[in-house]
Amino acid sequence: EVQLVESGGGLVQPGGSLRLSCAASGFTFSNYWMHWVRQTPGKGLVWVSRINSDGSNAIYADSVKGRFTIARDNAKNTLYLQMNSLRAEDTAVYYCAREVTYKSSWYLYRWLDPWGQGTLVTVSS
Amino acid sequence: DIQMTQSPSSLSASVGDRVTITCRASQTISSYLNWYQYKPGKAPKLLIYAASSLQSGVPSRFSGSGSGTDFTLTISSLQPEDFATYYCQQSYTTPVFGQGTKLEIK
Protein backbone atom coordinates (compact mmCIF):
# COMPACT_ATOMS: atom_id res chain seq x y z
CA GLU A 1 0.00 0.00 0.00
CA VAL A 2 1.29 3.42 -0.98
CA GLN A 3 1.55 5.47 2.19
CA LEU A 4 2.90 8.78 3.48
CA VAL A 5 3.15 9.51 7.20
CA GLU A 6 4.09 12.95 8.51
CA SER A 7 5.59 13.69 11.91
CA GLY A 8 7.37 16.47 13.76
CA GLY A 9 4.57 18.98 14.24
CA GLY A 10 3.95 20.76 17.51
CA LEU A 11 3.78 24.04 19.36
CA VAL A 12 6.62 26.48 18.76
CA GLN A 13 7.16 30.12 19.66
CA PRO A 14 7.38 32.83 17.01
CA GLY A 15 10.88 32.94 15.62
CA GLY A 16 11.48 29.31 16.46
CA SER A 17 12.28 26.31 14.29
CA LEU A 18 10.76 22.93 13.58
CA ARG A 19 11.59 20.05 11.25
CA LEU A 20 8.83 17.99 9.71
CA SER A 21 9.38 14.49 8.34
CA CYS A 22 7.36 12.44 5.89
CA ALA A 23 8.02 8.71 5.76
CA ALA A 24 7.14 7.06 2.46
CA SER A 25 6.38 3.39 1.85
CA GLY A 26 4.83 1.16 -0.79
CA PHE A 27 6.49 2.79 -3.80
CA THR A 28 9.95 3.65 -5.16
CA PHE A 29 10.39 6.96 -3.35
CA SER A 30 13.48 7.99 -5.33
CA ASN A 31 11.48 8.06 -8.59
CA TYR A 32 9.05 10.77 -7.55
CA TRP A 33 8.99 14.50 -7.01
CA MET A 34 7.49 15.39 -3.63
CA HIS A 35 5.56 18.37 -2.26
CA TRP A 36 4.55 20.02 0.99
CA VAL A 37 1.12 21.66 1.17
CA ARG A 38 -0.45 23.33 4.20
CA GLN A 39 -4.06 23.83 5.21
CA THR A 40 -5.64 26.48 7.39
CA PRO A 41 -9.33 27.10 8.02
CA GLY A 42 -9.00 30.60 6.64
CA LYS A 43 -6.93 30.03 3.50
CA GLY A 44 -7.65 26.42 2.61
CA LEU A 45 -4.97 24.39 0.86
CA VAL A 46 -1.81 26.33 0.04
CA TRP A 47 1.19 24.89 -1.76
CA VAL A 48 4.48 25.32 0.14
CA SER A 49 7.36 23.61 -1.63
CA ARG A 50 8.45 20.96 -4.13
CA ILE A 51 11.63 18.91 -4.55
CA ASN A 52 12.68 16.83 -7.54
CA SER A 53 13.45 13.13 -7.36
CA ASP A 54 17.18 13.31 -6.58
CA GLY A 55 16.94 16.36 -4.34
CA SER A 56 18.96 18.62 -6.62
CA ASN A 57 16.22 21.16 -7.27
CA ALA A 58 13.65 22.75 -4.99
CA ILE A 59 11.14 25.59 -5.30
CA TYR A 60 9.16 27.46 -2.69
CA ALA A 61 6.11 29.64 -2.27
CA ASP A 62 7.04 33.29 -1.81
CA SER A 63 5.56 33.23 1.70
CA VAL A 64 8.18 30.75 2.94
CA LYS A 65 11.16 31.46 0.67
CA GLY A 66 14.33 32.00 2.67
CA ARG A 67 12.80 30.52 5.84
CA PHE A 68 11.85 26.95 4.85
CA THR A 69 14.05 24.28 3.30
CA ILE A 70 12.78 21.09 1.69
CA ALA A 71 15.08 18.07 1.53
CA ARG A 72 14.95 14.33 1.08
CA ASP A 73 16.90 11.22 1.98
CA ASN A 74 16.19 8.62 -0.68
CA ALA A 75 18.09 5.95 1.27
CA LYS A 76 15.64 6.46 4.15
CA ASN A 77 12.55 7.07 1.97
CA THR A 78 11.96 10.26 3.88
CA LEU A 79 11.04 13.83 2.95
CA TYR A 80 11.78 16.77 5.23
CA LEU A 81 10.72 20.36 5.73
CA GLN A 82 13.01 22.50 7.87
CA MET A 83 11.07 25.53 9.05
CA ASN A 84 12.95 28.48 10.55
CA SER A 85 11.89 31.96 11.68
CA LEU A 86 8.38 30.70 12.18
CA ARG A 87 5.50 33.17 12.27
CA ALA A 88 1.95 32.97 13.56
CA GLU A 89 0.70 32.81 9.97
CA ASP A 90 2.64 29.55 9.47
CA THR A 91 0.19 27.84 11.83
CA ALA A 92 -1.40 25.08 9.77
CA VAL A 93 -1.72 21.38 9.17
CA TYR A 94 1.18 20.39 6.91
CA TYR A 95 0.77 17.61 4.36
CA CYS A 96 3.32 15.85 2.22
CA ALA A 97 2.18 14.58 -1.15
CA ARG A 98 3.64 12.61 -4.05
CA GLU A 99 3.56 14.11 -7.53
CA VAL A 100 2.33 11.75 -10.22
CA THR A 101 2.88 12.57 -13.89
CA TYR A 102 1.29 11.30 -17.09
CA LYS A 103 2.40 12.13 -20.60
CA SER A 104 -0.22 12.27 -23.34
CA SER A 105 0.80 13.52 -26.80
CA TRP A 106 2.18 17.02 -26.16
CA TYR A 107 0.84 17.25 -22.64
CA LEU A 108 2.50 16.37 -19.33
CA TYR A 109 -0.17 16.15 -16.66
CA ARG A 110 0.72 16.34 -12.97
CA TRP A 111 -1.29 15.73 -9.84
CA LEU A 112 -0.75 15.04 -6.14
CA ASP A 113 -1.53 11.54 -4.95
CA PRO A 114 -1.45 10.24 -2.31
CA TRP A 115 -1.28 12.69 0.55
CA GLY A 116 -0.34 12.01 4.14
CA GLN A 117 -2.67 12.51 7.10
CA GLY A 118 -0.95 15.75 8.06
CA THR A 119 0.88 17.12 11.08
CA LEU A 120 -0.24 20.21 12.98
CA VAL A 121 2.16 23.10 13.47
CA THR A 122 1.10 25.82 15.89
CA VAL A 123 3.16 28.99 16.18
CA SER A 124 2.21 30.89 19.30
CA SER A 125 3.73 32.44 22.39
CA ASP B 1 0.75 34.12 -11.03
CA ILE B 2 -2.29 32.10 -12.02
CA GLN B 3 -5.24 32.59 -9.67
CA MET B 4 -7.94 29.96 -9.21
CA THR B 5 -11.44 31.04 -8.18
CA GLN B 6 -14.09 28.58 -7.09
CA SER B 7 -17.80 29.19 -6.80
CA PRO B 8 -19.76 28.94 -4.72
CA SER B 9 -17.65 29.15 -1.54
CA SER B 10 -20.26 27.10 0.28
CA LEU B 11 -23.24 25.07 -0.77
CA SER B 12 -26.10 23.36 1.07
CA ALA B 13 -27.61 20.30 -0.55
CA SER B 14 -29.50 17.12 0.27
CA VAL B 15 -28.68 13.47 -0.23
CA GLY B 16 -29.59 12.54 -3.80
CA ASP B 17 -29.12 16.07 -5.19
CA ARG B 18 -27.03 16.84 -8.26
CA VAL B 19 -24.33 19.37 -7.41
CA THR B 20 -21.98 21.39 -9.61
CA ILE B 21 -18.92 23.32 -8.43
CA THR B 22 -17.16 25.76 -10.73
CA CYS B 23 -13.48 26.66 -10.93
CA ARG B 24 -12.11 29.50 -13.05
CA ALA B 25 -8.47 30.16 -13.86
CA SER B 26 -7.13 33.69 -14.36
CA GLN B 27 -5.46 32.56 -17.60
CA THR B 28 -5.76 29.56 -19.84
CA ILE B 29 -4.43 26.33 -18.34
CA SER B 30 -5.53 23.86 -21.05
CA SER B 31 -6.66 20.73 -19.15
CA TYR B 32 -4.12 21.05 -16.33
CA LEU B 33 -6.74 20.96 -13.62
CA ASN B 34 -7.25 18.56 -10.72
CA TRP B 35 -9.98 18.19 -8.10
CA TYR B 36 -9.54 17.04 -4.49
CA GLN B 37 -11.88 16.21 -1.62
CA TYR B 38 -10.91 17.34 1.87
CA LYS B 39 -12.30 16.20 5.22
CA PRO B 40 -10.76 17.53 8.47
CA GLY B 41 -8.36 15.09 10.06
CA LYS B 42 -8.03 13.06 6.87
CA ALA B 43 -5.65 13.07 3.94
CA PRO B 44 -6.91 15.11 0.98
CA LYS B 45 -8.13 12.75 -1.73
CA LEU B 46 -7.62 13.07 -5.47
CA LEU B 47 -10.90 12.78 -7.36
CA ILE B 48 -10.26 14.03 -10.90
CA TYR B 49 -7.03 14.70 -12.80
CA ALA B 50 -6.43 16.31 -16.19
CA ALA B 51 -9.81 18.04 -15.89
CA SER B 52 -11.96 15.01 -16.66
CA SER B 53 -10.17 11.75 -15.80
CA LEU B 54 -11.63 9.88 -12.84
CA GLN B 55 -9.04 8.64 -10.36
CA SER B 56 -9.10 4.89 -9.82
CA GLY B 57 -11.41 3.91 -6.97
CA VAL B 58 -13.43 7.13 -7.04
CA PRO B 59 -17.19 6.57 -7.50
CA SER B 60 -18.56 7.29 -10.97
CA ARG B 61 -21.03 9.85 -9.57
CA PHE B 62 -18.06 12.26 -9.62
CA SER B 63 -17.21 13.81 -12.96
CA GLY B 64 -15.13 16.73 -14.22
CA SER B 65 -15.26 18.82 -17.36
CA GLY B 66 -13.82 21.93 -18.94
CA SER B 67 -10.67 23.27 -20.53
CA GLY B 68 -8.99 26.62 -20.96
CA THR B 69 -10.18 28.74 -18.05
CA ASP B 70 -13.52 27.25 -16.97
CA PHE B 71 -13.97 23.91 -15.24
CA THR B 72 -16.68 22.07 -13.33
CA LEU B 73 -16.90 19.24 -10.83
CA THR B 74 -20.26 17.49 -10.77
CA ILE B 75 -21.61 15.02 -8.24
CA SER B 76 -24.58 13.34 -9.87
CA SER B 77 -26.33 12.05 -6.74
CA LEU B 78 -24.98 13.19 -3.39
CA GLN B 79 -24.22 10.54 -0.82
CA PRO B 80 -23.75 11.16 2.93
CA GLU B 81 -19.99 10.63 2.64
CA ASP B 82 -19.69 13.37 0.00
CA PHE B 83 -20.23 16.23 2.44
CA ALA B 84 -16.75 17.75 2.53
CA THR B 85 -14.72 20.63 1.10
CA TYR B 86 -13.66 20.45 -2.54
CA TYR B 87 -10.62 22.13 -4.07
CA CYS B 88 -9.52 22.62 -7.62
CA GLN B 89 -5.79 22.87 -8.38
CA GLN B 90 -4.00 23.98 -11.52
CA SER B 91 -0.87 22.11 -12.55
CA TYR B 92 0.04 24.34 -15.52
CA THR B 93 2.65 26.02 -13.34
CA THR B 94 3.60 25.51 -9.69
CA PRO B 95 0.50 24.22 -7.91
CA VAL B 96 -2.20 26.73 -7.04
CA PHE B 97 -5.43 25.74 -5.33
CA GLY B 98 -8.81 27.37 -5.41
CA GLN B 99 -10.15 28.70 -2.11
CA GLY B 100 -12.39 25.66 -1.64
CA THR B 101 -16.11 24.91 -1.74
CA LYS B 102 -17.66 23.60 1.46
CA LEU B 103 -20.53 21.23 0.75
CA GLU B 104 -22.92 21.01 3.69
CA ILE B 105 -26.04 19.03 4.45
CA LYS B 106 -29.28 20.96 3.97
Over the stretch B41-90, which tens digit does the pLDDT of each residue have? 899 999 999 999 999 999 999 999 999 999 999 999 999 999 999 999 99
By CA distance, what is A50's nearest residue in B? B94
Length of chain B (residues): 106
Query: What's the confidence (pLDDT) of residue B64?
Result: 98
Cβ-contact B7, B100 below 8 angstroms:
no
Q: What percent of chain B has pLDDT over 90?
A: 95
Pairing assessment for the beta strands B4-7 and A119-123 based on DSSP bridges: unpaired
**What span, in angstroms and rounded, lies between the C-alpha atoms of B8 and A111?**
23
Query: What's the confidence (pLDDT) of residue A41?
Result: 83
Category of B64 on φ-ψ map: left (φ > 0), alpha (ψ -120 to 50) or beta: beta
What phi, psi does A88 have (nearest 5°)?
A: -55, -35
Query: What's the confidence (pLDDT) of residue A120?
Result: 97
Q: Mind telling me how many Å the CA of A22 is from chain B's nearest CA?
A: 13
More confident residue, B40 or A81: A81
End-to-end CA, chain B: 36
Dihedral angle computed from the Cα positions of residues A99, A72, A118 and A50, in that order, rounded to the nearest 10 degrees:
-40
Q: Residues in chain B whose beta carbon is closer than 8 A to a beta carbon of chain A?
A: 30-32, 34, 36, 38, 41-46, 49-50, 55, 85, 87, 89, 91, 94-100
**Mean pLDDT in each 10-residue stretch from start to end of chain A (125 residues)?**
97 98 98 97 94 98 98 98 98 98 91 97 97
Q: Which chain A residues are within 8 Å of B36, Cβ to Cβ?
A: 45, 112
Query: What's the confidence (pLDDT) of residue B99?
Result: 97
- Compute the average pLDDT of residues B17-30: 97
The average confidence (pLDDT) of chain B is 97
Alpha carbon B34 to chain centroid, angstroms: 7
Query: What's the confidence (pLDDT) of residue B57?
Result: 97
